[in-house]
Chains A and B, each alone.
Chain A
Amino acid sequence: MQDATEDLALSAPGTDRSPGTHRAATVEFEHVSKRYGSPSDGHAAVHDLSLSVPAGATCVLVGPSGCGKTTSLKMVNRLIEPTAGRVLIDGRDIEAQDPVELRRGIGYVIQQVGLFPHETIAENVSVVPRLLGWPAERRRERADDLLRLVGLDPARYMRRYPSELSGGEQQRVGVARALAADPPLLLMDEPFAAVDPIVRARLQDELLRLQRELGKTILFVTHDIDEAIKMGDLIAVMREGGTLAQFAPAAELLARPASDFVARFVGADRALKRLTLRHVRDLTLEPAPTAAGTETVADVRRRERGRVPRWVLLVDERSVPVGWADTTGRTETEPLEKGAVANLSPLLEPDTTLRDALSLLLDAAVRTGIVVDHAGRARGLARLDSITALLQEDEGDERPRETANAAPADPGA
């Protein structure tokens, strides 16, 4: 498994040009408040928010509707101006910067995507480069790279209009557009809330992969605690009235919610949720007994030193799984591909969270999943038992919530 993880870290799928530098910005909120209405009878959308996001981290703002998470996000690119306090990017007060210049250096992704309907996909992802005065050739090359980066074939998509794309494809273009000028900071406001759950999971996985490659600082708003746990290095739980309830890494949030509100918001199934923080690559995989389709039981016996497993995974010349072969009731010389089962589900990737892996295994009603790398090559087998064992292990170290009614955790923690 070690090998597979390294492969992933090194490969930039779909592109051979470097997708960008590892520039990232820090973001700090210092006692930021936003009030609407008059000082006496107005209401607070955000109240005295202080938190600091280190460069390269993904910070998720999560909370029920009306908790001020989107307002907080929009105060970072000055779509909304705070009533009090200040926001610093890389230590510089954004109040002192020209909003137009500031925004050109910050990627922005929203739920409804907001692509320009009258421009082609190529033009849409080139909006900021055009504003920055890049020459046409460089813009075209960048658009090409960006579309590859988000998994869209440039030749197929460049000249299309947004209305010709599905919701998931549009949001990929939205992410590409936000990354166009290689900004050190991305703001994402419920970016995947409008697509169906399967597409959402895929887009989340791809954003995680992109983020490992690009190392941007990301502020991500969602109302979905599962998404927050999956995406966030740091999670800021906000509550009605725009106050910060807890700011902590995901694991700490699950293990030690700072208040009843956080505990309720995180939900009762915290042990299960903690599986979201672990990945298939963290499991000890079993080696898969593999063979080519043309091989026989005799070949397997020779290779496995006399032992013939009941099931053998058939792979092609590139080690990509093609089927399962049952070795019982076979003659020694019969090719294994004869009567092999083509159903390979579920196929797990090293980046699949254990929570997703668990539900994929349960859905397929099997106890073993095949783990493949990005190129689809078999890497080993993941057993249901090994996941549930982790679940019990986690259960064991769950501490009583002695901090339950204490004040919200130090936001700087």
Chain B
Amino acid sequence: MPNEPLIRWSWVTNHLGDIAAALGQHVELTLIAIVVGLVIAVTLALVAHRYRWAEAPITWITGVIYTIPSLALFVLLIPVTGLSTTTSEVGLIGYTLLILIRNILAGLDGVPADVLEAADAMGLTRLQRLVRVEIPIALPVIVAGIRIATVTTIGLVTVTALIGQGGLGQLMLSGFISLFPTEIYVGAILSIALAVAADAGLLLAQRALTPWARTRSRA
């Protein structure tokens, strides 16, 4: 197709519904992965924070998961969970864990010792200290981790197109198969825009949540 333009706008206007659906699925797959990943990561990080011996095995296991190439992981999961959302989510969540746990632990470890001593000496219980002092102070570093995990996940969702999911990845895949550049570019541009928007949105949310940290640069 030598005369085919990079983007054929008539196709775009005729398929706005399909594009929106792909974008919607992309956002949904990302959101589920981040939210579920965060719940698991917070739990495991708090265990590692409380029981220091647990830190090594937790970071080792999540590190191993992180090193498996994404396509290989999805293919390995197919015999277990089939060509389903579950398969893609298990993979996507798995990849968020190392990033999130590392940042949560780094954030908690970064709470100054004198602040912890003052908190104990004023009679905060362990739980009060965690909820009122440690987590709020760790928040900038934790959100930095969520940003990296989110951007990474938005990229990985496109790969799940190969197992029948994929949001915007579906557009790109079908464009490759039918040698139709418009679909490829629409998918690519929108997934880049989504990643940039999510990153900026989280950064703004972090600034709003931690006005006290504005002068510091911890990312």
Contacts and interface: CB of A to CB of B under 8 A. Distances in A.
B123 A100 contact: yes
Interface residues of B, number: 24
B128 to A, nearest CB: 7
A108 B137 contact: no
Contacts of A108: 118, 121-122
A127 B211 CA distance: 19
B210 A101 contact: no
B212 A104 contact: no
Interface string B148-186: 000000000000000000000000000000000000000
Interface in A346-385: none
A112 B114 contact: yes
A187 B114 CA distance: 15
Given A116-B133, A118-B136, A103 B212 contact: no
A104 B114 contact: no
A297 interface: no
- Interface SS of chain A: helix, strand, loop or mixed? mixed
B112 interface: yes
A117 interface: yes
Contact of A110 (B118, B136, B137, B210): B118
A78 to B, nearest CB: 9
Contacts, number: 71
Interface string B187-210: 000000000000000000000001
B32 interface: no
Contact of B123 (A115, A116, A128): A128
A117 B115 contact: yes
A163 B120 contact: no
Contacts of A161: 211-212
A118 B114 contact: no
B123 to A, nearest CB: 4
A217 interface: no
B120 A118 contact: no
Nearest to A77: B121
A42 to B, nearest CB: 23
Nearest to B139: A118
Interface residues of A, number: 27
A114 B124 contact: no
Interface in B92-116: 112, 114-116
A141 to B, nearest CB: 20
B213 interface: yes
A128 B119 CA distance: 10
Contacts of A113: 114, 118
Contacts of B117: 79, 110, 114
B36 to A, nearest CB: 27
A131 interface: yes
Given A118-B136, A118-B137, A131 B128 contact: yes
A128 B128 CA distance: 12
A127 B122 contact: yes
Interface string A367-409: 0000000000000000000000000000000000000000000
Contacts of B216: 163
B123 A114 contact: no
Given A100-B125, A117-B137, A163 B118 contact: no
Contacts of B136: 118
- Max chain B CB contacts within 10 Å: which of A106, A110, A112, A116? A116
B67 interface: no
B134 to A, nearest CB: 10
B14 interface: no
Contacts of A104: 122-123
A99 B139 CA distance: 29
Given A113-B114, A117-B137, A117-B212, A79 B128 contact: no
B215 interface: yes
23 contacts: A79-B120, A79-B121, A100-B124, A103-B122, A103-B123, A104-B123, A108-B118, A108-B121, A110-B114, A110-B118, A110-B121, A112-B114, A113-B118, A115-B118, A116-B119, A117-B213, A118-B139, A118-B213, A119-B212, A128-B122, A131-B128, A161-B211, A177-B122
Interface of B: 112, 114-125, 128, 133, 136-137, 139, 210-213, 215-216
Given A117-B115, A131-B124, 9 more contacts: A99-B123, A110-B118, A110-B121, A113-B114, A113-B118, A115-B118, A116-B115, A118-B136, A187-B121
Q: List the 3 closest A-B pairs by CB distance, nearest first.
A: A114-B118, A104-B123, A112-B114
